[in-house]
Amino acid sequence: MTTMYTPDHEWINIEDHEAAIVGITHHAQDALGDVVFVELPEVGRSYKKGEVAGVVESVKAAADIFMPVTGEVVEVNEGLRDDPSLANSDPLGHGWFFKVHITEVGMAEFDQLMDPPGYDALLKTL
């Protein structure tokens, strides 16, 4: 299992060669406050790295969820749609947003994301 991070505070975890899981980080959910609504991407749709793939709304703000790598959405977390607070209570677990099949281009992009120490260094600058 390899987890990488974006500067926009998304995480992506490659579990196997079929799909990677995407969600928001502890920092993102903490900055947003209580999440009350999520707009998840359409299953079967392909996105390029950096495209808006969803929206998360809280009592304080709304934020776009950006696709961390190029790929096709193969599953969304319906449990998160039913209970958006999972993004707060378990952002790195049950609060995941979607799964994506990463293209060959996306795999190269994945290798350019921040590893955990790199993301921790970014957080220290905020």
Instruction: Tell me if 38 is assigned to some domain.
Output: yes
Instruction: Tell me if 54 is assigned to some domain.
Output: yes
Could you give the CA distance from residue 61 to residue 24 in angstroms, rounded to a whole number? 15
Instruction: Tell me if 117 is assigned to some domain.
Output: no
Share of the chain above pLDDT 70, in %: 98
Number of domains in the chain: 1
Instruction: Tell me if 15 is assigned to some domain.
Output: yes
Higher per-residue pLDDT: 107 or 18? 107
| Mean predicted confidence (pLDDT) in 85-102 | 96
The pTM score is 0.94
Share of the chain above pLDDT 90, in %: 92
Mean pLDDT of the chain: 94
**Which tokens in the block code for residue 3?**
């987890």
Under a CB-based contact definition with an 8 Å cutoff, are residues 57 and 38 in contact? yes
- Please tell me the predicted confidence (pLDDT) of residue 18: 74
pLDDT, tens digit, 9 for 90 and up, residues 25-82: 999 999 999 999 999 999 999 999 999 999 999 998 999 999 999 999 999 999 999 9
- Please tell me the predicted confidence (pLDDT) of residue 15: 77
Instruction: Tell me if 95 is assigned to some domain.
Output: yes
Q: Which CATH number characterizes residue 66's domain?
A: 2.40.50.100
Instruction: Tell me if 43 is assigned to some domain.
Output: yes
Instruction: Tell me if 121 is assigned to some domain.
Output: no
Task: Give residue 75's domain range.
Answer: 2-112
Instruction: Tell me if 31 is assigned to some domain.
Output: yes
Q: What is the DSSP string of 68-104?
A: SSSEEEEEE-HHHHH-TTHHHH-TTTTT--EEEEEPH
